[in-house]
Amino acid sequence: MRNQSMNDGKFMRIAIMKAREGIRHGQAPFGACIVRKGKVLVSSHNAVFGHTDITAHAEINALHSACRKLGKIDLSDCVIYSTTEPCPMCFTACHWAKIPKVFYGTKIADAAKYGFSEWPISNRKMELLGKSKIRLVPGFMRKECLELFKEWTKRKGARAY
């Protein structure tokens, strides 16, 4: 149990490192890591500005890469670690991919506070409406994930969307 928890921390730290890499390159402060059978499969940061693509959120990028890497669209043997609660776009993408468990740090409401035009629809709300069985682990390493927003605001030219 303790090892599992330590591993979860390790995987979230990879998502955080990825978000930090994005921040350094002028991207929005979000990262995601997809793990399969205890091993990191892919990690991605938000690339909305870098790719000039409004859909290029960290989770969408990670799900895309994971599918391509495995050669399948069913990721039911994977877990995702997101620095921020996936937006309804990304959370629905997790549903489509059959991801059974989502760890996240900060909330959609935190991202909104920092200027992102989030729809205020929580994963819990989506889950209830969708009668979904995705397991949520909210607030995981929240403090470290919140730090990403603070680092991002210090960057010259930081902009939300």
By the criterion CB under 8 A, which residues form the site for a copy of itself? Answer: 48-49, 51-56, 60, 63-64, 67-68, 71-73, 75, 87-90, 92-93, 95-97, 117, 119-121, 125-126, 129-132, 161
Of 27, 104, 35, 28, the residue nearest 66 (C-alpha)? 35
Verify whether residue 59 is a known catalytic residue.
yes
Task: Report the distance separating Cα 134 and Cα 158, nearest Å.
Answer: 33
Task: Report the distance separating Cα 76 and Cα 105, nearest Å.
Answer: 22
Q: Which is nearer to a copy of itself, 51 or 150 (CB)?
A: 51
Residue 58 burial (CB count, 10 A):
30
| Residue 63, amino acid | L
Structure-block tokens of residue 30: 């979000």
Q: Which is nearer to a copy of itself, 87 or 148 (CB)?
A: 87
Catalytic residue among 21, 59, 147, 151: 59
Least Cβ distance, residue 115 to a copy of itself (angstroms): 14
Q: Which is nearer to a copy of itself, 8 or 118 (CB)?
A: 118
Looking at the annotation, which residues are catalytic?
59
